[in-house]
Amino acid sequence: MTMLDLRGLKCPLPALRTRKALTRLAAGEVITVVCTDPLAAIDIPHCVAEAGDLLEESGRDGDTLTFRILKR
């Protein structure tokens, strides 16, 4: 499983870097994205759906957002 730590980055960087990371994965691989930008709660799920991948899980712990994404 790949981990992408994007804490401290502001919109649109978390979504752009997530999209770029997804292009490097093979189908069936999982990536966990961690970020602190509140807009990522909207942008990353949209990015994942647009790419045709699957957002398996998302969560929030204080200011930290976590997304578990399956590459299709």
- Mean pLDDT per block of 10 residues along the chain (72 residues) reads 96 96 97 98 97 97 98 97
Could you tell me the CATH superfamily of domain 2-70? TusA-like domain (3.30.110.40)
Whole-model pTM: value is 0.95
Please indicate whether residue 11 is annotated as part of the active site: yes
With 0-12 / 13-18 / 19 or more C-beta atoms within 10 angstroms meaning exposed / middle / buried, residue 66 is: middle
Query: What pLDDT score does 23 carry?
Result: 96
Residue of 4, 11, 16, 30 marked catalytic: 11
Query: What pLDDT score does 1 carry?
Result: 81
Cis amide leading into 14 (omega within 30): no
